[in-house]
Amino acid sequence: MANGATIAAKSIAAAGIGRPPRSSRRADIIFKAIMFGALAISVLALGLLLYEIVKDGAGAVTPEFFTNQPSKVRPQTAGAQSAIYGTLWLMAITAVIVIPIGVATAVYLEEYADRTKWWNRLIEVNIQNLAAVPSVVYGILGLAFFVRSPLSLGNVILAGGMTLALLVLPVVIIVAREAIRSVPPSIREGSLALGATQWQTIAKQVLPASIPGIATGVILALSRAIGETAPLLLIGAATSPRFNPDGLDSAFTALPVQIYTWSTDADRDNFLPLASAAILVLMAVLLIMNSIAIYLRNRYEQKW
Amino acid sequence: MSGAGASSQGVRAKLARTPTLRSRYERFVKLVLFSAAAISVLTTIAIIFSLIRETITFFGEVPVADFLFGDKWTPLLNGDQQSFGVLPLIWGTLYLSFIGLAVAIPLGLLSAIYLSEYAKPRARKTIKPVLELLAGVPTVVFGFFALTFFTPEVLKNFVGLDIGTFNALSAGIVLGFLVMPTIASVAEDAMTAVPRSLREGAFGLGANRRQVSLRVVFPAALSGIVAALVLGASRAIGETVIILIAGGTVARLGVDPQQGYQSMAAYIAFVSRGDAPTGSVEFLTLFAVGLTLFVITLALNLVSIRLVNKYRQVYD
């Protein structure tokens, strides 16, 4: 006589799940080992990369590296001053452009947009797509639109900054939207009930409450911008200029471009320590920016 | 009663018709915010416009069929040697991406399953930042690593391959490490979004953790996981600098991973740094190849966006 328990046991066995036999237990261990292996390979690759760069570059990060100008012929006395200045300039230009546009777009999409309207859905899908357009395509946009007609700026740092701003705009929008969305509706309702208009509610309640999240997004976006090489190559960044940018219409280079120039030089082996040193400086800046972003996220994350 | 109701309706109608200074200001703010949002749409239009404008000029000089179906890509050579068949560039792009994804997909998915189903909170808290750090490494650094370490030290000296300075194997594998965190992170999001009740149901039936992960959570998150793979493929196809530095500058139809291959993105950057004069056919190839690349990645992105939106709808 089959009672309920044996029927259940049979159907569980038929479904292929249930008390694992010994072979299944072994499969468990193997599966766990494979997962650990996968993670270990990734972590090992990162470790190896950092180790190699520190080994080759640490000795070359000297005061002269920051004060001397790049050179394509004399690795002994070359530095990266113009590249470091260029990166700082680009960061500033990008931030000035991307913060207002990104935050305004996020506010519009979260607080005003009616999602049943086709143009608002178009904007959303468009931003999702722009986030995954290859950076070299942004470079073509910058080259065709900013460097040449209609804006005809030439190969200047402003064109580079504008291109990078468009490139990282989706990052700012996506993160800022999440920050705005996490402000609970009760805050808005309270403000509206006290007679504030919609914009007053946003400007005085919603935005202040979402600043840490927005700041995190901006920092992440800027750290992506200063690591980009391909768009700047297209814009026409100078190779190893011996002057710092002195205005928006100045020729420029940046750390990633300088790293590229040195590592593709015919005399590459002699420039290896310099390229490694430039990578170390760039990675240090990125690490600091990411740490600030993580700190902001943990410190100011509001629990409503 | 009804009279009071009617008059208050009248007042409301009047209020709606005569905008106050404040309501005008509110409308103005909305308009400004909408204009900001429109910039992202204008960006897409500008991208398409700048690609198509120059591509049309290019096709004025090179027949479309020669470009699309030609199997020799040597636009920078002179005279009879010059040829504009884009197939070798597309093949190089796919081949390098294939090597990259062969590395990134297993590593990324296994890491995602571990992080979402196995890891204790403490382990998650240490592993996730490491993956984020890997994701934040600039691509030029990966390219430098492939050229100066992975090819000479790992592939040549350690594995003992007889391999050139520029080769598909090194560029492809390092490309895989670039793409891996993207796949891991999107796939993990999709698996975390699977409701707990599904897992508890399976555990209640006596399934163990591996069975729950592979037979319940993984299929339930499938659309998000496919989205992760498609997004990863899109990133691999669009990646420029790793291949520019470590993949070589010859567009080749072939399958030997020890040789160098060029991808579309790497070609674009390469020709923009070369000495082809602006406006020449050689220079215009940049836009035709750019348009090809944009169309391919656009198709992949739209597929991935559709899939992501689908799994969000199912479980939110």
Residue B74 — φ and ψ, nearest 5°?
-135, 60
CA end-to-end span of chain A: 58
A226: left (phi over 0), alpha (psi -120 to 50) or beta: alpha
Gap between the Cα atoms of B185 and B182, Å rounded = 5
Q: Map tokens 């391999």 to a residue.
A: B163
Q: Taking CA atoms, what residue in A is nearest to B26? A: A199
Q: Which helix (H) or strand (E) holds A111?
A: none
Alpha-carbon span B282 to A225, nearest angstrom: 29
DSSP state of A143: I
Task: Name the B residues in 245-284 with CB < 8 Å from any A CB.
Answer: 245, 265, 268-269, 272-273, 278
Those residues with Cβ within 8 angstroms of residue B64's Cβ, 6 or more apart along the chain or in another chain? none
Low-confidence ranges of chain A (pLDDT < 50): 1-2
Output the pLDDT for position A77. Answer: 79
Give the residue among B101, B129, B105, B127 at the shortest CA–CA distance from B116.
Answer: B127
Q: How many beta-carbon pairs under 8 angstroms link A with B?
A: 261
Say whether B84 sits in a helix, a strand or coil. Answer: strand
Question: How far is Cα of residue A303 from the mean position of the Cα atoms in its chain?
Answer: 26
Amino acid of residue A184: P
Q: Rounded to whole angstroms, how far apart are CA atoms B168 and B91?
A: 12
Residue B74 per-residue DSSP state:
E
Helix A22-57, helix B168-192: angle, nearest 10: 120
User: What is the rounded distance in angstroms from the CA atom of residue A59 to the CA atom of residue A73?
Assistant: 20
Most A-contacting residue of B40, B234, B297 (CB-CB within 10 A), to test interface: B40
pLDDT in the model for residue B97: 96
Type of residue at B102: A
The verdict on a CB contact (< 8 Å) between A290 and B177 is: no
- Provide the shortest C-alpha distance from residue A1 to chain B (in Å): 23
Q: Are B87 and B66 in contact (CB under 8 A)?
A: no
Instruction: Give the Cα separation of A285 and A293 in Å (integer).
Output: 12
List of chain B residues whose C-beta atoms are within 8 Å of the C-beta of residue A105: 33, 36-37, 39-40
A16 and chain B in contact, CB less than 8 A: yes
Q: In B, residues 171-230, which contact A (CB 8 Å cutoff)?
A: 177, 180-181, 202, 205-211, 214-215
What distance in Å separates the CA atoms of residue B156 and residue A60, rounded to the nearest whole number?
27
Distance CA(B246)–CA(B242), nearest Å, equals: 6
What distance lies between CA A146 and its chain's CA centroid?
A: 23
How distant is the Cα of A92 from the closest Cα of chain B, in angstroms?
A: 19
Is residue B73 helix, strand or coil? strand
Nearest chain B residue to A129 by CA: give it: B301
Task: Give the pLDDT confidence score for residue B173 in this predicted structure.
Answer: 96
Out of B32, B114, B134, name the one closest to residue A104 (CB). Answer: B32
> In the prediction, which pLDDT does B170 show?
95
In angstroms, rounded to a whole number, what is the distance separating the alpha carbons of residues A180 and A116? 20
HSE at residue A211, side-chain half, CA atoms within 13 A, is 7
Question: What pLDDT is stored for residue B3 in this prediction?
Answer: 45
Q: Are B242 and B178 in contact (CB under 8 A)?
A: yes
Q: How many CB atoms lie within 10 A of CB B128?
A: 17
CA distance B268 to B237: 13
| Residue B144 sits at the chain A interface (C-beta within 8 Å) | yes
Which pLDDT score, from 0 to 100, does residue A2 have? Answer: 44
Binary contact (A282, B22; C-beta < 8 A): no
Residue B122 Cα, gap to closest chain A Cα (Å) = 15
For chain B, 316 residues long, the average pLDDT of each consecutive 10-residue run is: 50 62 90 94 94 93 91 86 90 95 96 93 86 89 93 89 90 95 92 92 92 92 90 93 92 88 94 83 92 94 85 65
- Which residues, in sequence order, are bridge partners of residue B84? B73
